[in-house]
Each structure stands twice: as C-alpha cells, then as structure tokens.
Amino acid sequence: MGEHKDLMQAREMLAAARQVVVMSGAGISAESGVPTFRGAGGLWREFRAEDLATPEAFGRDPLLVWEWYRYRRQIVAPCEPNPAHLALVALEERVDDFTLITQNVDGLHRRAGSRRVLEIHGNMFLIRCTGCGRERMVWDDDFSLPPRCEACGELERPGVVWFGESLPADVMMAAEEALVQADLFLIVGTSGLVYPAAGLLHLVDRKRCGSLLINLDPTPQSGAVDLALHGKAGELLPALLEDSA
C-alpha cells in the first residue's frame, strides 16, 4: 500500500520535471549480469580494491591489473542493456533537458541508446597511453598484455578512474552544470559510498530540485532524498515511466 503510494508520488514528481539529471551506479547493470562492487556477489568480496583499482597497484603489477580488466571486459561484452537502461532512454526522449551521469564503466547506457551520457569513472573499453595520453576504444581482446602504445611505445592503461585519481575535469564540470539547473535528480543503483559522485546530491538546490532514489538496499542517501524507492531498478524504473492513469 505504502509502496504503491510512493510510486504514485514518484511518478508525479517525474511528470512535473522538465530538466532531469540521473546518476547511475553498478546496481543498474546488475540485472544485465554485470557484477556490482559491494554487497552480495560484489567484486570487492572476491578482490581487494587496493590491489587492483589504484595507480599504485598498476605501478606494481600492470599485468595483474590488466588481467583483471580483461576478465571484466569478457564478462560485460555479452551482457545486454536491461529494462532499467531502456527506461532511461525513453525518459531522455520525454523531457526537455536530460543528462545521465554514470559511475559505470560498462558502456551499457550508450549501447541501450542513451545519448547525453557523462561517464565520470571512464570506460573499460577505453585504453589510454601513460606516456603520450593517446586514447583508443578497443572492443575485442585481441591484444597482448600489458598493451603498449603504437605511437610512443609506453605502457597503456585502462581508461577508468581509480581510487586516489581525479575524475575527468571537463566531464565533472558538465555534470555539476547540469545539476545546478535540474528540477529533478534521480539516483539509481549506487551504494552512495564513493566520492565525489556521492557528494553530487549536495549540489542540488533543494528549493527548486526534487530528488528521488531507486536502489535495492537502503543507502546513506536514502534519508537525504525527497523520496526513496527500494527494489530492483529493472522493475521500478519502467514502472515509474508508466502512465499514472
């Protein structure tokens, strides 16, 4: 009963919004078969973040880090966007102004058809040279590890943001600009533990911008938004977009 009322209220908030910003995390891709980081079945249950997702780890053992990303690329490659990704494509078409900020590196939002996507933690199919900075997208895994740059011969690294590294400044600036103008901020499928992404909620002007959260489990942000819906993104997001009639 309460749940139904919350869904109705969330639909009303969405229907009234013209400038929408969404921020997604690993939970939105869980129903596509992509493992999350924290929680049941999460990658950080099996692997230590500090051994794999830091610049120090890459400096110590680039081959180990590359092998881990190859393993993850191979998990993601056959995965398909799920109803949650598709609901956001439909939402982008429905509102005047739409920005999707994603912490995910799996590329599934673009594959689903979302157009305005800001990948604040990079993309696992992007490779960047540690020497000259040259970037390339590589979809197959037909290269020997660790790969080297054809232009300068230096080691190449995954084009993702590791702990202790800055997020791409231009992408973060675009995210912040979208947020200060938004009239609805929707947070989906993130534990809300990793900064600066988790801090974006504090940038919204609470007087003009509503905030909604959809996540399987309650998070530190569940109590900080106007309305939190707890459940699967692949069920709740499509339900949110249905006509309330």
- What mask, x for binding ligand BJW by CB under 6 A, covers residues 55 to 94? ----------------------------------------
* Start-to-end C-alpha separation, the chain: 17
Q: Give 106's contacts (C-beta < 8 A, 6+ positions apart).
A: 29, 34, 76, 79, 124
The residue from 10, 21, 30, 118 that contacts ligand BJW (CB under 6 A) is 30
Asked if 164 is part of the footprint of ligand BJW (rule: CB under 6 A), the reply reads: yes
Q: Rounded to whole angstroms, how far apart are CA atoms 76 and 50?
A: 22
Which of the residues 16 through 75 are near Zn ion (CB under 5 A)? none
Asked, as a colleague might, if the bond just before 196 is cis with ω within 30 of 0, I would say: yes
Nearer to Zn ion by Cβ, of 154 and 226: the residue is: 154
> What's the min distance (Å) between Cβ of 161 and ligand BJW?
5
Take residue 135 and report the two structure tokens written for it.
């970037």
- Point out the residue whose Cβ comes nearest to ligand BJW: 27
List Cβ<8 Å contacts ≥24 apart for 90-98.
90/241, 91/14, 91/20, 91/22, 91/241, 92/116, 94/241, 95/17, 95/18, 95/19, 95/20, 96/18, 96/19, 97/18, 97/19, 97/20, 97/178, 97/181, 98/19, 98/20, 98/21, 98/22
Phi first, then psi, for residue 241 (nearest 5°) are -90, -10
The residue from 26, 65, 129, 228 that contacts ligand BJW (CB under 6 A) is 26
Asked if 123 is part of the footprint of ligand BJW (rule: CB under 6 A), the reply reads: no
Contact between residue 194 and residue 137 where contact means Cβ atoms under 8 Å apart: no
Choose the one of ligand BJW, Zn ion, none that binds residue 129, judging by a C-beta under 5 to 8 angstroms depending on kind.
Zn ion
Q: Report in angstroms the alpha-carbon separations of 38 from 10, 45, 125, 192, 198.
A: 27, 7, 22, 11, 15
> Active-site residue 121, yes or no?
yes
The residue from 88, 211, 232, 240 that contacts ligand BJW (CB under 6 A) is 232
Among the listed residues 4, 85, 109, 121, the single catalytic one is 121
The residue from 21, 149, 182, 188 that contacts Zn ion (CB under 5 A) is 149
Asked if 233 is part of the footprint of ligand BJW (rule: CB under 6 A), the reply reads: yes
The residue from 8, 16, 137, 151 that contacts Zn ion (CB under 5 A) is 151
> What's the min distance (Å) between Cβ of 155 and ligand BJW?
17
Nearer to ligand BJW by Cβ, of 111 and 181: the residue is: 111
Asked, as a colleague might, if the bond just before 83 is cis with ω within 30 of 0, I would say: no
Residues that bind ligand BJW (CB under 6 A): 25-27, 30-31, 36-39, 42, 53, 103, 105, 121, 160-166, 189-191, 193-196, 215-217, 219, 232-234
Just list the catalytic residues.
121
Residues that bind Zn ion (CB under 5 A): 129, 131-132, 134, 149, 151-152, 154
